[in-house]
């Protein structure tokens, strides 16, 4: 296995393989909101500021030109002697498998797959000194959707939400195919797969909304790809305005969900927390927010793996920020344990007041 130390954010060439380290820093900043800072300690290779982490983290960086086994990672960790008392180990590898990342998390080691060409997305994981992790994944391609065997494809969930919102209205397969960028035969297959849970009886055409809604609560993934937690310095109804403005200026696609979205869709009570889905992680300190633990957060900024999530957003009333589709908001509320808001929103949905 070949290895080298990296003394700063520059590109390296090993034989015929070009490790585009500069590309990594650019993608971390533009896609994930992770920025480079200038370390005061000259022994520190890289100092990274990660959204939601209370302090910038110093890393000792090593680049490897050949694949790494989990056992090798453990050996590297055991031999590592940090050049700075506060620094952590960050490894660049040609491939970052789930098994390798699990071993890395166990040892508190950060691992990134370095791109071989410009524009190739980075993947991997950053680990903070207190064990917090930031998972980095390439944005899923809605048309190809490479998924693990046995996991439900995102297109299935997208069609399920659309069927749920349609209620008694006919669902046209061509419209669904055009809307979600998948083939009509695939839409037909998804509808057949959903038929046992989405209809009242094996031969019925009427949608069983309760059964389909419960299926989505049970099956739709609860955990975001990345989430950061913040305490806002103003009431939630004012915080959503400043957060929206901050994200709009930053050019980051976003949509409101959770308690605030529920109150906008079906007023129920004064929201205490704000949940914002975004295309990428963003530092919210400029929006009058302070990083805190999830338990103390009044604002959560989350990045989803679902490529169809933000596409469902729409404007509601005079509110500037877009809002997720109502049934998606409802699933979020149930997953987050906001059952009072979820019940009020569910009643409005079942009564036909929202679609």
Helix (H, G, I), strand (E, B) or coil at 267: coil
Name, of 148-152, 310-314, 347-351, the range with top average pLDDT: 310-314
Q: Are 160 and 196 in contact (CB under 8 A)?
A: no
pLDDT of res. 144: 40
The position carrying tokens 């839409």 is 187
Q: Measured between alpha carbons, how far is residue 309 from residues 4, 23, 291 in Å?
A: 41, 27, 25
pLDDT in tens, 52-95: 788 889 999 888 888 899 999 999 999 888 877 778 999 998 88
pLDDT of res. 343: 92
pLDDT of res. 2: 38
Q: Is the pLDDT at 174 greater than 60, yes or no? A: yes
pLDDT in tens, 175-195: 999 999 989 899 999 988 888
Q: Are 323 and 313 in contact (CB under 8 A)?
A: yes
Q: Which residues contact 136 (CB under 8 A, 6 or more apart)?
A: 28, 32, 112, 122, 123, 124, 125, 126, 226
pLDDT of res. 12: 36
What's CA 303's distance to the chain center, in Å? 3
Q: Is the pLDDT at 10 greater than 60, yes or no? A: no
Q: Which residues contact 209 (CB under 8 A, 6 or more apart)?
A: 164, 167, 350
User: What is the average pLDDT across 313-342?
Assistant: 93
Q: Measured between alpha carbons, how far is residue 232 from residues 18, 30, 298 in Å?
A: 43, 24, 6
pLDDT in tens, 246-293: 999 989 999 999 999 999 999 887 899 999 999 888 888 888 888 888
Six-digit token string for 132: 């917090």
Paired residues of 275 in beta bridges: 257, 300
Q: Where in the chain is the domain with CATH 1.10.10?
A: 154-219
Q: Is the pLDDT at 149 greater than 80, yes or no? A: no
Average pLDDT, the chain: 82
Paired residues of 228 in beta bridges: 301
Instruction: Give the phi and the psi of residue 229 in degrees, each rounded to 5.
Output: -115, 140
Six-digit token string for 189: 């297959």
SS (H, E, C) 137-204: CCCCCCCCCCCCCCCCCHHHHHHHHHHHHHCCCCCCHHHHHHHHCCCHHHHHHHHHHHHHHHECCCCC
Q: Find the range with the poorest average confidence among 157-171, 207-221, 243-257, 304-318.
A: 157-171
Query: CA–CA separation, 156 vs 31, rounded Å?
Result: 26
pLDDT in tens, 117-135: 766 788 899 998 888 888 8
Q: Is the pLDDT at 244 greater than 70, yes or no? A: yes
Residue predicted with more confidence, 47 or 294: 47
pLDDT of res. 203: 52
Q: Is the pLDDT at 99 greater than 80, yes or no? A: yes
What is this structure's pTM? 0.65
**107-110, Cβ contacts within 8 angstroms, sequence gap of 24 or more:** 107/73, 107/74, 107/77, 108/77, 109/73, 109/76, 109/77, 110/59
Q: Is the pLDDT at 146 greater than 70, yes or no? A: no
Confidence of residue 138 (pLDDT cuts 50, 70, 90): low
Q: Is the pLDDT at 32 greater than 70, yes or no? A: yes
Confidence of residue 355 (pLDDT cuts 50, 70, 90): low
Q: Is the pLDDT at 319 greater than 70, yes or no? A: yes
Residue predicted with more confidence, 326 or 204: 326
User: What is the average pLDDT across 304-319?
Assistant: 92
Q: Find the range with the poorest average confidence among 96-105, 249-258, 309-318.
A: 96-105
Six-digit token string for 249: 């200026």
pLDDT of res. 312: 94
What CA dihedral angle connects 257, 263, 269 and 272, to 10 degrees? 30
Confidence of residue 202 (pLDDT cuts 50, 70, 90): low
What's CA 51's distance to the chain center, in Å? 13
Six-digit token string for 237: 């109804």
pLDDT of res. 168: 60
Does the domain at 154-219 match CATH 1.10.10? Answer given as yes
């Amino acid at each position: 296995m070949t290895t080298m130390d990296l003394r700063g954010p520059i590109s390296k060439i090993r034989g015929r393989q070009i490790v585009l380290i500069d590309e990594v820093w650019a993608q971390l900043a533009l896609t994930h909101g992770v920025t480079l800072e200038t370390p005061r300690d000259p022994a520190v290779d890289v100092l990274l500021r990660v959204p939601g982490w209370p302090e910038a983290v110093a890393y000792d960086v090593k680049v490897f030109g050949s694949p790494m086994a989990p056992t090798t990672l453990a050996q590297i960790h055991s031999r590592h002697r940090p050049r700075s008392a506060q620094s952590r180990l960050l490894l660049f590898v040609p491939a970052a498998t789930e098994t390798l990342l699990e071993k890395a998390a166990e040892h508190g080691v950060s691992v990134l797959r370095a791109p071989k060409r410009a524009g190739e997305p980075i993947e991997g994981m950053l680990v903070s000194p207190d064990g917090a992790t930031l998972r980095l994944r390439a944005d899923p391609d809605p048309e190809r959707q490479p998924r693990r065997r046995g996991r439900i494809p995102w297109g299935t969930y997208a069609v399920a939400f659309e069927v749920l919102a349609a209620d008694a209205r006919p669902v046209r397969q061509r419209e669904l195919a055009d809307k979600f960028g998948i083939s009509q035969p695939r839409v037909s297959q998804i509808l057949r797969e959903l038929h046992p849970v989405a209809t009242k009886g094996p031969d019925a055409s009427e949608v069983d909304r309760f059964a389909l809604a419960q299926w989505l609560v049970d099956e739709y993934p609860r955990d975001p790809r990345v989430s950061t937690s913040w305490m806002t310095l103003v009431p939630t109804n004012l915080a959503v305005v400043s957060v929206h403005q901050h994200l709009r200026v930053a050019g980051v696609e976003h949509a409101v969900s959770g308690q605030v979205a529920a109150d906008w869709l079906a007023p129920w009570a004064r929201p205490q927390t704000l949940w914002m889905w975004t295309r990428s992680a963003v530092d919210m300190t400029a929006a009058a927010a302070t990083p805190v633990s999830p338990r103390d957060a009044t604002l959560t900024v989350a990045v989803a793996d679902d490529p169809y999530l933000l596409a469902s957003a729409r404007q509601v009333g005079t509110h500037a920020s877009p809002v997720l589709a109502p049934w998606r908001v409802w699933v979020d509320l149930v997953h987050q344990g906001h059952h009072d808001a979820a019940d009020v929103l569910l009643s409005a949905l079942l009564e036909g007041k929202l679609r």
